[in-house]
Homo-oligomer: A and B are copies of this chain.
């Protein structure tokens, strides 16, 4: 592909092509495709806005700052992508590509930077909340996991769940929460059913001390994610589902700072009667795509 667009710099359109053509013959085809498009768009961006060296260096410094803040508990590079919608976009692309031939499946949403791989398996009907704050409302969440094609219930499916506490912090961000608080893995029974207690989620701001927050400030944007629960669902013979479900009554539903909300992922919490342990009831059924 030859770039033919006129440029506003003295290097001319052949400069971009020269950079693309520097890739050697052993470049894997998929990587060549990705880098060709990336180089083309990054150059077109710089040309379109006539990006200056000083402006570019602001971006480089923010990128380096993101790496310096990132560790096993925090991924600030990911968060910078999130606030410009990139993680939601690639999630949609990946999910759409994976399920183009099937319907009626539970929609995906982004993983986010706070997942941990070591969630303990807990008993159905138990709680993930071990440091329940006074201002929290407890909910009982339950439902069935099915095959999205046949509708059959899926036994032994794994549901990883995680959420922030009412102060907006995940346990790894908060010394006042015990290890693995508000996290757990549940296995569906022979009817494909799962159940657990958790907090009715509350909105919270993104971390305010890094470059992602600095970008939001500069763009005059709010920091809030709508109230949500993270889910990661696995079942043998089915595609892994990463998603989030959102409280439909949350005021940030229409303007999530990381653009992860999809209409079909908004859920309704209903008052729960006759259960001392929970004020709210949430039924949520999950339909998984069979593996390709």
Residues on A facing B (Cβ under 8 Å): 8-11, 15-16, 18-19, 22-28, 31-35, 37-57, 60-61, 63-70, 75-78, 81, 84-94, 96-97, 111, 218-221, 255, 257, 259
Q: A91-B53, A92-B11, A220-B24 are contacts. A60–B43 as well, Cβ < 8 Å?
A: no
Q: Are A24 and B63 in contact (CB under 8 A)?
A: no
User: Which listed residue (B15, B70, B220, B255) contacts A89, Cβ 8 A?
Assistant: B15
What's the Cα separation between A27 and B222 when bound, in Å? 12
**A111 nearest CB neighbor, chain B only:** B53
Q: Are B60 and A78 in contact (CB under 8 A)?
A: yes
Q: Are A43 and B8 in contact (CB under 8 A)?
A: no
Q: Are B22 and A90 in contact (CB under 8 A)?
A: no
Q: Are A55 and B34 in contact (CB under 8 A)?
A: yes
Q: A31-B219, A63-B63 are contacts. A90–B52 as well, Cβ < 8 Å?
A: yes
Residues of B within 8 A of A89 (CB): 9, 11, 15, 43, 46-47
Q: Are B19 and A259 in contact (CB under 8 A)?
A: yes
Most buried by B among A32, A43, A46: A46
Q: Are B97 and A24 in contact (CB under 8 A)?
A: no
Distance of A214 from chain B, by nearest CB (Å) = 12
Q: Are A93 and B18 in contact (CB under 8 A)?
A: no
What's the Cα separation between A92 and B15 when bound, in Å? 11
Residues of B within 8 A of A67 (CB): 63-70, 77
What's the Cα separation between A19 and B18 when bound, in Å? 32
Q: A9-B96, A96-B9 are contacts. A90–B220 as well, Cβ < 8 Å?
A: no
User: Which listed residue (B27, B41, B94, B255) contacts A219, Cβ 8 A?
Assistant: B27
Residues of B within 8 A of A81 (CB): 56, 60
Residues of B within 8 A of A96 (CB): 9-10
Q: Are A9 and B93 in contact (CB under 8 A)?
A: yes
Q: Are B19 and A85 in contact (CB under 8 A)?
A: yes
Given A8-B93, A19-B259, A26-B220; 11 other pairs, CB 8 A cutoff:
A10-B92, A16-B85, A19-B85, A22-B255, A23-B221, A35-B219, A38-B49, A39-B84, A47-B89, A52-B93, A67-B70
Residues of B within 8 A of A25 (CB): 220
Q: Are A60 and B46 in contact (CB under 8 A)?
A: no
What's the Cα separation between A69 and B85 when bound, in Å? 27
Q: Are A24 and B219 in contact (CB under 8 A)?
A: yes
Residues of B within 8 A of A10 (CB): 92, 96
Q: Are A27 and B86 in contact (CB under 8 A)?
A: no
